Amino acid sequence: MLQQHHDLLSHTLKYPSNLPQQEQFELAGGVEVSLTDVGILRFEPPQPDAADIVLSAGVHGNETGPIELLNRLVQELLAGTLNCRNRLLILLGNPPAMVVGKRELEHNMNRLFSGNHSNYQGDEAQRAKRLELAVTEFFQQRDGQRYHYDLHTAIRDSKREKFAIYPFRHGKPWKRQQLAFLANGGIDTALLIHSPQTTFSYFSSNQFGADAFTVELGKVRPFGHNDSQSVAQIESQLRRLISAEPVLIDAAAPLTVFDVAQEINKQSDAFTLNFADDAANFTEYQRGDLLAQDGEVEYRAKADGEAIVFPNAKVALGQRALLTVLPVGAEQPFE
Ligand SMILES: O=C(O)CCC(=O)N[C@@H](CCC(=O)O)C(=O)O
Ligand SMILES: [Zn+2]
């Protein structure tokens, strides 16, 4: 039982498909804890502060560093060494994929949100629907300040090790304070996305007005091979948020913001990338350089210094195979 062992990760890996029993118990101070489904754990303080926080990891099953990070936070909460003063929902996204150490089993779960799961069959589609429901029930309970940090790690090496993806805001200003929160947590790079997506963070941002981000915390590694020191800064920012201590938002923290310049979807099996398999995220190219080819169609850098992010020729047809980014333009609205 989670109440005794405090180890959400082991519990989830042991029962990845069916929870043997729901658990509900109270921590010292009256915080109500509910394990309502596999990897879905809710903390409800008796008199919560204003923030409603969703923290998710493992939407891609092999991205273990952030899963271990959330497990540490849960252990501290259950042991009483971290006080929960805001409402909190912890989600481990894709437990069956976590068990086998794979990004996905049938479908990329981070393309199934905002209802796109209804266009697919199988466990990942059902789980995406279940996660949406958990987030909906959590946020709908009140009009709090809503946050969702969906934690990931990248497949490739990256010239910028940690970075956040800021989902499309339909023209609403991007929030400097949110970027400063992340920057003070060691996430020194942000990408502004300019179109709706079917990602988990866009779902929370778009449907619930949450300050929501996909946060990349380094490179994919197996369980037990992650360096907890490298995420210590963001982990302590999250601790502050959970315990309603002032978070760090020093505007002087290093931060580089990029606009997504091109979003390139794979249209055919002939799609190829025109650079080495080990080219790191944020490698820069010059105007006119050929980046990818899809049959007859060529994709080239449109400006000097255009950099690649998340190149992946193996994605399913129709899905994003490459982003390119440029330093943020002056016209972006910030508040
Ligand atoms: O390294 C990669 O190629 C993918 C890492 C990853 O899973 N990234 C997320 C980003 C989601 C977003 O754009 O908000 C994803 O591709 O789902
Ligand atoms: Zn991921």
The model's pLDDT over 207-223, given as tens digits with 9 standing for 90+, comes to: 999 999 999 999 999 99
Q: What's the ipTM?
A: 0.98
Q: Which of 73, 75, 79, 92 is nearest to 242 (CA)?
A: 73
Please state the domain extents for the chain: 2-242, 262-327
| pLDDT at residue 148 in the model | 99
CB of 169 shorter than 6 A to ligand 1 = no
Options 3.40.50.10440, 3.40.50.300, 3.40.630.10, 1.10.10.10; CATH for 2-242 is 3.40.630.10
Is 60 assigned a ligand-binding role in the annotation?
yes
Which two structure tokens, joined as six digits, stand for 328? 């943020």
Residue 27 and residue 44: Cα distance in Å, rounded?
Answer: 10
CB of 60 shorter than 6 A to ligand 1 = yes
Is 284 assigned a ligand-binding role in the annotation?
no
SS3 33: strand
Contact (CB, 8 A) for 307 and 325: yes
CATH number for the domain whose boundaries are 262-327: 2.40.50.630
Contacts of 314 (CB under 8 A, 6+ apart): none
Span between the terminal Cα atoms of the chain, in Å: 45
Has 104 been annotated as catalytic?
no
pTM of the model: 0.98
| pLDDT at residue 330 in the model | 82
Contact (CB, 8 A) for 165 and 254: no
Candidates 216, 263, 298, 335; catalytic one: 216
Residues with pLDDT less than 70, the chain: none
| pLDDT at residue 331 in the model | 86
Q: Which of 162, 169, 186, 151 is nearest to 282 (CA)?
A: 162
Ligand 1 pocket test, pick from 103, 265, 275, 310 with the greatest ligand atom count within 8 Å of Cβ, gives 310
CB of 321 shorter than 6 A to ligand 1 = no
Ion ligand 2 — residues with CB < 5 Å: 60, 63, 152
Ligand 1 pocket test, pick from 67, 110, 203, 211 with the greatest ligand atom count within 8 Å of Cβ, gives 110
